[in-house]
């Protein structure tokens, strides 16, 4: 009897894996892949855009633009990306609630199409302002997708695969970074004539998502809990799991729906006002800030400057930059496989501890590079090891926190807070990193090391492990942590606690 049932079970598993894989790819190609791709392609035509800015200004006024103003315009072009991301993060919550997770990702491509048009015709129009506006728009797109994509995937995956599925956001980010670095080589689209096409190539992943994502189901949790559509939720679950027998999971969703019954959708500022969410919000703020302030993203924003600082020859810099993205992609894949075995806390703590170690060696190597001939090579090795360590945990695990630590009614607001925090920190780091390099010289990574130490300590002491737990089990554990004096009382049932947050 068991032998007769084995093939259908295997077939159902294959269907589930296939549909999940398609869902991950369709969401990721126009989501975090787009974020990573646009993060890296702006570095390739740096000098060409600066020359174009100067030529455009001279054609308008008859005078060349002073060098310090050219640098200022370039800094604005780079910094408008995280500024747009901040606007997108604030839009993500309302969009996810009103349009749904899947439709939000689809509508989000409007910003990408508009940005690609601006990039593609900027040189013909003789307008560097079009590049600035395009960077702002792709930033808005990234801000929306960086929040909605992990929400959509985390709500669609079964609990035993939730961590691994959510970690794919980091894989697509790293893949986008590597692809942007490769396409941005001088041999491809990084040359003096092709750079507008390089910037406009962000249209390709957007179009791929527009064609693929409509074929896949909406988040079952959104359909049942937010929309109250049991039939649509059942259909989505059956499509995602490859079987019509989803009664157990539907029952779990019904329990979660009952826990959220009568609750209003949380607003971002309300998350900070209630003790029942104290541990969740603190973890989100501390670890979200640590991920951006640890110094990893500055490697991509000013990677060429960092490699020149450690003595890499000019003609080899662009190939060294590709190595940084490849390192993060490798560790993101390894972490995706290991997260359900090792757990979230271990990956985060291990990542931050390794980053502290390699960052310290990097600082020593910079100080001694003029004394010992081989020190620049040690410093370059430390850069790769630092990025590898970042990919082990902080790169992917941090993005899972808002999905797992908050319930359905608070999750969109949590992602708004997380996104706004991430983009604000990213903007400040990109804006301040050149001054840190100039002011601290060889000790430029010392402030980032302090952040890594704090991230490891907080994770070890205060972050609960969520591996293999349902959302209701996670909520119950967080309730005990937020109200330790009540831990000996009656078992928490869900609705009473959630309703109490409305007092």
Q: 264 exposed, middle or buried (CB, 10 Å; 0-12, 13-18, 19+)?
A: exposed
Distance CA(123)–CA(306), nearest Å, equals 29
- Are 191 and 242 found together in one domain? no
Residues 424 and 288 both lie in one domain? yes
* Cβ atoms within 10 Å, residue 318: 20
pLDDT for res 303: 60
Could you write out the three-class secondary structure of 389-439?
A: HHHHCHHHHHHHHHHHHCCCCCHHHHHHHHHHHHHHHHHHHHHHHHHHHHH
Q: Which two tokens stand for residue 49?
A: 């855009």
Q: Residues with Cβ < 8 Å from 181, sequence gap 6 or more?
A: 40, 43, 44, 318, 321, 322, 324, 325
What CATH number is given to the structural domain containing 59? 1.20.1250.20
If asked whether residues 169 and 294 sit together in one domain, one would say no
285 and 384 fall within a common domain: yes
pLDDT of residue 472: 76
501 and 436 in a single domain? The answer is: yes
Residues 434/302, Cβ–Cβ less than 8 Å: yes
Q: Is residue 237 located within the same domain as residue 347?
A: no
Residue 362 falls inside a structural domain: yes
pLDDT value, residue 108: 94
Structure tokens at 187: 């041999």
pLDDT score recorded for residue 300 = 58
In a domain, 3, yes or no: no
- Domain tally, the chain: 3
Is the domain of 72 the same as that of 182? yes
Q: Which domain holds residue 277?
A: 266-503
Residues for the chain: how many in total? 503
Which pLDDT score, from 0 to 100, does residue 13 have? Answer: 67
> Residues 6 or more apart from 273 whose CB is under 8 A from it?
none
pTM over 0.95, yes/no: no
Is 448 contained in some domain?
yes
Burial track 265-300 (b if 16+ CB lie within 10 A, e otherwise): bbebeebeebebbebbbebbebbbbbbbbbbbbbbb
Q: What is the mean pLDDT of each run of 10 residues along the chain (503 residues)?
A: 48 72 90 89 82 89 84 82 89 90 94 95 91 93 90 86 83 90 84 89 94 91 87 88 80 81 76 83 90 76 64 76 82 83 88 91 83 78 85 82 82 86 82 76 85 92 84 81 62 40 33
Kindly state whether residue 103 falls inside one of the protein's structural domains.
yes
- Domain annotation covers residue 501: yes
Q: Is residue 477 part of a domain?
A: yes
Same-domain status, 204 and 221 = no
| Residues 278 and 294 reside in one and the same domain | yes
Residue 1 belongs to a domain: no
Asked if 118 and 236 sit in the same domain, the reply is no
Residues 162 and 249 in one domain: no
Strand segments (E) across 195-352: none
- 258 and 273: one domain? no
How many Å separate Cα 13 from the centre of its chain? Answer: 29
- What angle do helix axes 446-462 and 411-440 make, rounded to 10 degrees? 150
Buried b (16+ CB within 10 A) or exposed e, 422-438: bbbbbbebbbebeebbe
């Amino acid at each position: 009897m068991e032998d007769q049932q084995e093939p259908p079970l295997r077939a159902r598993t294959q269907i589930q894996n296939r549909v999940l894989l398609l869902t991950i790819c369709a969401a990721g190609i126009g989501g975090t892949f787009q974020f990573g791709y646009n993060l890296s392609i702006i570095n390739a035509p740096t000098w060409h855009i600066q020359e174009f800015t100067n030529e455009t200004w001279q054609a308008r006024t008859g005078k060349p633009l002073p060098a310090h103003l050219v640098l200022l315009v370039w800094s604005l072009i780079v910094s408008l990306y995280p500024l747009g991301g901040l606007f997108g993060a604030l839009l993500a919550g309302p969009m996810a609630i009103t349009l749904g997770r899947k439709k939000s990702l689809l509508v989000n491509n409007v910003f990408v199409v508009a940005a690609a048009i601006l990039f593609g015709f900027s040189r013909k129009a003789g307008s560097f302002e079009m590049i600035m506006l395009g960077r702002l728009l792709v930033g808005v797109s990234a801000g929306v997708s960086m929040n909605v994509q992990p929400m959509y995937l985390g709500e669609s995956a079964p609990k035993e695969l939730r961590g691994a599925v959510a970690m794919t956001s980091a894989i697509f980010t790293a893949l986008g970074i590597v692809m942007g670095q490769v396409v941005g080589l001088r041999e491809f689209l990084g040359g003096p004539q092709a750079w507008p096409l390089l910037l406009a190539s962000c249209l390709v992943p957007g179009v791929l998502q527009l064609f693929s994502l409509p074929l896949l189901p909406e988040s079952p949790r959104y359909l049942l809990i937010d929309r109250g559509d049991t039939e649509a939720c059942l259909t989505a679950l059956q499509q995602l799991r490859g079987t019509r027998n989803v009664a157990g999971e539907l029952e779990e969703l019904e329990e979660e729906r009952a826990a959220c019954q009568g609750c209003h959708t949380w607003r971002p500022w309300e998350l900070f006002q209630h003790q029942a969410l104290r541990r969740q919000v603190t973890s989100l703020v501390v670890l979200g800030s640590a991920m951006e302030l640890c110094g990893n993203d500055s490697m991509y924003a000013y990677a060429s400057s960092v490699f020149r600082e450690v003595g890499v020859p000019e003609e080899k810099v662009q190939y060294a930059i590709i190595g940084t993205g490849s390192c993060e992609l490798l560790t993101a894949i390894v972490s995706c496989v290991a997260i359900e075995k090792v757990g979230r806390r271990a990956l985060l703590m291990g990542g931050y501890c390794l980053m502290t170690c390699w960052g310290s060696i990097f600082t020593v190597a910079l100080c001694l590079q003029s004394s010992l001939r081989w020190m620049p090579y040690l410093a370059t090795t430390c850069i790769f090891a630092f990025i590898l360590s970042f990919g082990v945990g902080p790169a992917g695990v941090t993005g899972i926190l808002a999905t797992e630590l908050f319930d359905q009614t608070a999750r969109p607001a949590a992602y708004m807070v997380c996104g706004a925090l991430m983009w604000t920190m990213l903007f400040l780091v990109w804006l301040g990193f050149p001054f840190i390099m100039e002011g601290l010289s060889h000790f430029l990574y010392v402030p980032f090391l302090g952040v890594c130490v704090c991230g490891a300590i907080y994770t070890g002491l205060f972050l609960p492990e969520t591996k293999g737990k349902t959302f209701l089990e996670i909520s119950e554990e967080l309730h005990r942590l937020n109200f330790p004096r009540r831990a000996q009382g009656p078992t928490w049932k869900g609705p009473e606690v959630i309703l109490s947050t409305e007092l």
